Homo-oligomer: A and B are copies of this chain.
Amino acid sequence: MADTSVRMGFQIRSTVKKEGIVEISVARVATPEPKPDEVVVRVDAAPINPSDQGLLFAGADVTTAKASGTPDSPVVTASISPAVMKSMAGRLEQSLPVGNEGAGVVVEAGASPAAQALMGKTVAILGGAMYAQYRCIKAAQCLVLPPGTTPAQGADCFVNPLTALGIVETMRREGHTALVHTAAASNLGQMLNKICLKDRVALVNIVRKPEHVDLLKKIGAAHVCDSSSPGFMDQLTEALVASGATIAFDAIGGGRLAGQILTAMEIAANRTAKEYSRYGSTTHKQVYIYGGLDRGPTEFNRAFGMAWGIGGWLLTAFMQKIGPEAAQKLRDRVAAEIATTFASSYTKEVSLAGALRIDEIAVYAKQATGQKYLITPNKGR
């Protein structure tokens, strides 16, 4: 058949083996024929986000990564610690596709008018299994990009932009007027600065390196605190007093930072207290942990009264909670501002096989600021 080349394609897959390793490979798989309400998208660009690496590496120690297989069909294996293996019971010995989001061109469409209308269009998708040459998906899940938008521009249309918008929306819905963000020089952090400047929301940025202070100040950030500086707690307290921020979104998770933020919020709240209360200020102080850049334990001293909370924050749970109408509003804003507020930049483009090269893994697995990779599954091997 003439369309055989369209229907077969390469795809990255990840399997946790019971002997305590993850095996990542590039497999050749058949793309399903689209049902009436489905389309097949040729994936031209898919970012490697921190949230993808959880599924890809399964918490393995990537410094143990070893290459095998052939250049055409590479295989990478890496060791998973016994502690991490405990949480992998649910995916043991299952070959899972990877890649939360991406963008490409619709090359085949089912019989329905909605599907047919997408033929030839450049679309963005949040659907999983995007580290592949082709993805069969419901037409309704495709976000049509504005004319002139390239797949590379639209590849990161969901995870970072919607997380950034979801953070600001959560702040508003929970009655806060300003916010704190950690790992603030990240792609997501820069987007958040652009949103907050545009929406006039005070934002306290916490970074981990002195050079990131300048990076954020250059794009207009008013408050940037470097957690590696000896005066960090004082800087943070002053920024909290100035901004009035009582909610924080933390991408780091491990260590003492969440507790430090709550402690500084409490000191800031008590600046205006008139009477001693041994239960602390009555201002509710909240930290949401939405990432795990530090996978170690979270530790805090509870030196911040009784009106506080720490919790997990997950984009998909947030989108479900606000309902389809509110969620669509956020998606529409992303599409409208994809080339400005939500523009991403990438360090490097790699093929599917390239993403499995040990030297590339060593770079992007660090999840360092300014080291973001884009997979281009259809640009050669």
Contacts and interface: CB of A to CB of B under 8 A. Distances in A.
Interface of A: 54-55, 86-87, 90-91, 94, 96, 253-254, 259, 270, 273, 275-279, 282, 289-290, 292, 297-303, 305-314, 316-317
Nearest to A92: B276
Nearest to A312: B306
Contact of A298 (B91, B275, B302): B302
A298 B279 CA distance: 18
A133 B276 CA distance: 24
A267 B379 CA distance: 43
Nearest to A313: B306
Given A297-B300, A298-B302, A302-B253, A278 B54 contact: yes
A309 B311 CA distance: 4
Contacts of A305: 312
Given A54-B278, A90-B273, A300-B297, A310 B309 contact: yes
A90 B277 contact: yes
18 contacts: A55-B278, A90-B270, A90-B275, A91-B276, A91-B278, A96-B276, A253-B302, A279-B316, A282-B317, A289-B302, A298-B300, A299-B299, A306-B317, A307-B317, A309-B310, A309-B312, A310-B310, A310-B311
Nearest to A275: B90
A280 to B, nearest CB: 8
Q: Counting chain B CB atoms within 10 Å of each CB, which of A254, A278, A301, A312 scores highest? A: A312
A297 B262 CA distance: 14
A302 B302 CA distance: 17
Nearest to A55: B278
Contacts of A259: 297
Given A55-B278, A317-B282, A297 B301 contact: yes
B302 A299 contact: no
A233 B277 CA distance: 37
B301 A299 contact: no
A21 B308 CA distance: 28
A309 B313 CA distance: 9
Contacts of A96: 276
Listed from nearest, the 10 A-B pairs whose CB atoms lie closest are A90-B276, A309-B311, A306-B312, A306-B314, A91-B276, A299-B299, A308-B312, A310-B310, A297-B301, A297-B299
B279 A314 contact: yes
